[in-house]
Structure 1
Amino acid sequence: MKGKTLWGIIFGLVVTNCLTIALLLNNGKTSIATSSNEAATQSETVAQIGDEVINRQEWLAELENRFGKTTLENMINKKVVEELAKKYDIEVPEKVIDRELMMFKATYNAFGEEGIQEEENWREQIRYSILLEELLTKDVDVSEEEMRQYFDANKQYYQIDTSYHLSHIVVKTKEEVSQILKELDEGSSFEALAAERSIDEITAANGGDLGYVSENSNNYTPKKYVEEAGKLKKGEWSNAIQIDDQYAIILLHEKLDGVAYRYEDVRDQIRRQLALEQMEGNVTTKKLWEEIGVTWFYGNQD
Structure 2
Amino acid sequence: MNTKQLRLVVAALILVNFVTITIFLVKEKRANGAGLKKEIVATIGTREISRKEWLSELEARYGKEVLKDMIDQKVIKEMAEKNKIKVSKQDVEREFRMIQTTYHSASEKKQENEKKWKEQIRNSLLLEEILTKDVAVSEQEMRNYYNQNKDLFDIPTAFHLSQIIVKTKTEAEKSLKELSQGSSFSAMAMERSIDEFSANDGGDIGYISKDDDRYPFEYVQTAKNLKVGEWSMPIKVDQGYAILKLEGIIKGETYAFQDVKEEIRRQIALQQMKVPASARTFWDEARVSWFYGKDKND
Match of 2:292 in 1: 298
**Shift of the alpha carbon at 1:214?**
2.9
* Aligned partner (choices 82, 91, 106) of residue 87 of structure 1: 82
Contact 1:167 1:250 (C-alpha < 8 Å) held by counterparts? yes
Match of 1:215 among 207, 210, 233: 210
Write the distance in 1 (CA, Å) between the matches of 2:246 and 2:212: 16
Matches within 5 A, 1:243-282: 246-282=240-276
* Alpha-carbon distance between aligned partners in 2 of 1:158 and 1:288, rounded to the nearest angstrom: 30
How many angstroms apart in 2 are the aligned matches of 1:7 and 1:199? Answer: 30
In the alignment, is the contact (CA less than 8 A) between 1:169 and 1:208 conserved in 2?
yes
TM-score, scaled to structure 1: 0.85
For residue 291 of structure 1, give the secondary structure of its aligned residue in structure 2.
Answer: coil
Residue 25 of structure 2 is aligned to residue 30 of structure 1: no
What is the CA–CA distance in structure 2 between the aligned matches of 1:187 and 1:42, rounded to whole Å?
Answer: 47
On the 8 A contact 1:168/1:249 being kept in 2, the answer is: yes
- Kept in 2, the 8 Å contact 1:3–1:274? The answer is no
CA drift of 1:53 comes to: 1.6
Distance, in Å, in 1 between the alignment partners of 2:190 and 2:46 is 36
SS in 2 for 1:166: strand
- AA partner of residue 290 (structure 1): D
Shift of 1:25: 0.8
Q: Which moved more, 1:287-296 or 1:120-129?
A: 120-129
Please report the RMSD computed on the Cα atoms of aligned residues, expressed in angstroms: 2.7
Which residue number in structure 2 is paired with residue 58 of structure 1? Answer: 53
Alpha-carbon deviation of 1:289?
A: 1.2
Matched-pair contact (CA < 8 Å) for 1:238–1:250:
yes
Q: Is the 8 Å Cα contact of residues 230 and 246 (structure 2) preserved in structure 1?
A: yes
The 1:15/1:214 distance shift into structure 2, 3 A limit, reads closer
CA spacing shift, 1:283–1:124, aligned 2, 3 Å: closer
1:18 aligns with 2:21: no
| Range with bigger deviation, 48-57 or 211-220 | 211-220
Q: What whole-Å deviation, never above 9, does each CA across 1:33-55 have from its counterpart, x for those lacking one?
A: 1xxx3xx3223222222222221
Greater than 6 Å deviation, 4+ residue runs: 1-4
Q: Which residue of 1 aligns with 2:113?
A: 118
- Percent of matched pairs sharing the same residue: 46
Match runs of 1:152-231 below 5 Å:
152-201=147-196, 203-223=198-218, 225-231=219-225
Deviates more, 1:78-87 or 1:19-28: 78-87
Shift of 1:7: 6.0
Task: Please give the TM-score of this superposition, normalised by the length of structure 2.
Answer: 0.86
- Unaligned runs of at least 5 residues, structure 1: none
